[in-house]
Amino acid sequence: MIGFRLLLAVLVLFPFLALGTAPLFDLDEGAFTASTMEMFLRGDFLSSHLLGEPRYDKPILIYWLQAASVSLLGSSEFSWRLPSALASSLWILATHGFVARVRDQRTGLAAALIVATAAGLTIITRAATADALLNLFVAVAGYASWLWLRERERRWLYAAWLAMALGFLTKGPIALLLPGGALFLWCATRRDWRSFFSWAMAPGPLLLFALVALPWFAVETWREGPGFLEGFFLKHNLSRFDTPMEGHGGRPFYYVPVVLISLLPHTGLLLLAMTRLKIIWQDELLRFGLLWFLFAFALFSFSGTKLPHYVYYGYGGLVLILAAQVEQRAARWLLVLSGALTFALLLALPSLLDASLPKLKPDDLLLAKGLRFGPAYWLWCTAALVLSLLSLRSATARFALYANGLTAGVAVAWFLLPIAGQVQQEPVKQAGLFARHLTEPLLLYGVNTPSFQTYVGRQVGKRPPRAGDVILTRESSLAALPGNEVLFRSRGYVLTRVKE
C-alpha cells in the first residue's frame, strides 16, 4: 500500500518536472501568455487582446488563472505554466480516483500513469495553454456522469455540470459536446433515452451551469457588442469544423499517427485493445470509454481545422480501456516492445533531424545550428532502451508499464522539451529580454512570435513599421527594411531599429 501511494504521489507531481526549463513556445504558449500579459498592460481583466487587437479565440478562465499565478510568483516560464501543471495533477488524481472506485487500485494506478507519462500528454500537461485545463474538466464531466448513471446520486450530476461549466469558460462549447456526445451514444446502445434526458434536462444542474458559465459571456457581449459572439461562436468554433484555420488542416486519417505516437511508450496497450473490441464492447464501462474516444476521434477527424492535441480530449475515455489491458497475457511483450521502440526513436532523433537539415530554409537552418543533444540525453535513452530489452524475458507487464512510462516521461520532459525550446525559442526569449531596456515602439515584422511580448513585458504591435520603431524579424526580411540598425542578432532572429 505504501508503494502504491508513493507512486501515485510521483505521478500527481510529475507535471511539475522541468516545468520552467524550456522557453515559452510560439505560437500557442506565446499567444496565451502574451494575451494575459496584455491584461496587465491594459489594466483590463475582462477582455483578452493579442498584440493590440481583440482576441476572441478562447474564453477567460485560463487567462485569469495565469494572471493569478504571475501576480503571486512573478513572470517566469514556471508561473505561466503553473495553472496547466496543477490542472494536469488534478486530472491524474481524478483518473486514479475514478478508476479505483469503479474497478480497483491497480487499474486506477495504471490509468493515472498513462495520463502522466504518454508522450503527447507529457507535452500538453506542461503547456501554458487552455488544453490541460479543458482535459481536466472534460474528464471530470465524463467520470461524474458515469458515476451518476451507476449510483444515481445527484451530487455526481451537479459535479458533471459544474465541470462542463468550467470547461465552457475554458474553451467553449466543446466542453459540453464531448461528455454529452459520449453519454448520448452510450445510452443509444442501450436504448436508455430516459437516462440521457434525465442527465441533459436536470433543472438544478442546468441552473448551476448557467450561473457559472454564462455571466462572463453576457458581460463581454455587453462590452464588445455582437462582434464578440460572432467571432467566438461562429469564427473560432463553428468555422473550425468546415475551414482549416491558420494553416492547420489535414486529411481524414490525420489522427491515426497522432494517436499511435502520442501514446508512446504505451501504444502496445492500444494495439492489444484493438484485438479485443468485442470483449470491450460487452463491458459497459469500457464501452462508455470507447464511445467517448471514438466520438472525439471522429469529430476532429472530419473537422476542417486539425491540431494534434484535439484528439486528447477523448483520452479520458481511452485510458479506461488501456488500463484494463495491463493484466492481459500479451500485454507484457507489447509494452516492452513499444517501450523499446520509443527509446530507439529518441536515440535516432538526432540523426533524423540532421538528415532534414538540407531541406530547411536559410532562416530555419540558422535556428537548427543551436541543436545540441548532450551526453546526459544519450546516456538516459540508451540505459532506458537496454532496461526495456532486458525486461522482455522476466519483467511483468506492470513493471514494464511503470518503468517505460516513467523513463520515457523523464526523457520527454527533462531532455527533449528543453532541447526543442533552446533551438526554436531561445533567440526570441533573448530578444525580448534585450528589448526590456529600450524605449522605442516595438513591432513584430514577418514573424508570429507573441512570446516576445511576454518576455519584453510591454506592448508590442504588428502594424507597418515607421522610422524609430524597433522590430523583431528574421534575417531574410532585413532586405525589405532599408536604413535599419541591427541591435541584436541570434540564429536568424534580429532586433533592428528603423531609421528611414
**Residue 73 carries which side chain, given as an amino acid letter?**
L
Tell me: the pLDDT tens digits for 211-221?
A: 999 999 888 88
DSSP state at residue 458: S
CA atoms of 437 and 456, how far apart (whole Å): 9
Position with higher pLDDT, 95 vs 244: 95
For residues 72-85, average pLDDT: 97
pLDDT of residue 225: 73
pLDDT of residue 235: 57
For residues 13-38, average pLDDT: 95
pLDDT band at 238 (very low <50, low <70, confident <90, very high): low
**Residue 454 carries which side chain, given as an amino acid letter?**
T
> Worst-scoring range by mean pLDDT, 8-12, 50-54, 251-255?
251-255
pLDDT of residue 249: 53
- DSSP-derived 3-state class of residue 350: helix
Tell me: the pLDDT tens digits for 260-305?
A: 999 999 999 999 999 999 999 999 999 999 999 999 999 999 877 7
pLDDT band at 246 (very low <50, low <70, confident <90, very high): low
Task: Give the CA count within 13 Å in the CB-facing half-sphere of 211.
Answer: 9
pLDDT of residue 10: 96
CA atoms of 485 and 493, how far apart (whole Å): 14
Assigned C-alpha cell, 167: 470547461
pLDDT band at 19 (very low <50, low <70, confident <90, very high): very high
C-alpha closest to that of 135 among 92, 104, 102:
92
pLDDT of residue 499: 83
pLDDT of residue 363: 75
pLDDT band at 479 (very low <50, low <70, confident <90, very high): confident
pLDDT of residue 203: 95
- DSSP-derived 3-state class of residue 87: helix
DSSP notation for 27-46:
THHHHHHHHHHHHHHHT-SS
Position with higher pLDDT, 389 vs 361: 389
Q: In the predicted model, is pLDDT for residue 234 greater than 70? A: no
Assigned C-alpha cell, 465: 513599421
pLDDT of residue 95: 98
For residues 242-255, average pLDDT: 63
**Residue 141 carries which side chain, given as an amino acid letter?**
A
Position with higher pLDDT, 371 vs 431: 431
Tell me: the pLDDT tens digits for 161-201?
A: 999 999 999 999 999 999 999 999 999 999 999 999 999 99
pLDDT of residue 105: 94
Q: In the predicted model, is pLDDT for residue 434 greater than 60? A: yes
For residues 1-12, average pLDDT: 86
pLDDT of residue 431: 95
Tell me: the pLDDT tens digits for 44-69?
A: 999 899 998 888 778 999 999 999 99
C-alpha closest to that of 35 among 6, 18, 56, 11:
56
Indicate the helix (H) or strand (E) that contains 270.
Answer: helix 267-274
Assigned C-alpha cell, 414: 527533462
Q: In the predicted model, is pLDDT for residue 367 greater than 90? A: no
pTM score of the predicted model? 0.93
pLDDT of residue 231: 63
pLDDT of residue 369: 74
Q: In the predicted model, is pLDDT for residue 443 greater than 80? A: yes
Q: What strands lie across the sheet with 442-444, from one edge to the other?
A: 460-461, 442-444, 470-474, 493-498, 484-490
CA atoms of 311 and 301, how far apart (whole Å): 9
pLDDT of residue 403: 92
> Worst-scoring range by mean pLDDT, 118-127, 237-246, 336-345, 362-371?
237-246
Tell me: the pLDDT tens digits for 444-453?
A: 999 999 999 9
Q: In the predicted model, is pLDDT for residue 237 greater than 70? A: no
Indicate the helix (H) or strand (E) that contains 366.
Answer: helix 362-368
Assigned C-alpha cell, 36: 494575459
pLDDT of residue 253: 85
- DSSP-derived 3-state class of residue 50: strand
* pLDDT mean across residues, the chain: 91
pLDDT of residue 396: 87
For residues 110-123, average pLDDT: 97
Instruction: Compute, in degrees rounded to 10, the torsion defined by CA atoms 341, 344, 348, 353.
Output: 40
Above pLDDT 90, what percent of the chain? 72
pLDDT band at 118 (very low <50, low <70, confident <90, very high): very high
Q: Where are the alpha helices (DSSP H) in 118-248?
A: 119-124, 131-151, 154-171, 174-190, 193-200, 203-224, 226-229, 239-242
For residues 359-372, average pLDDT: 75
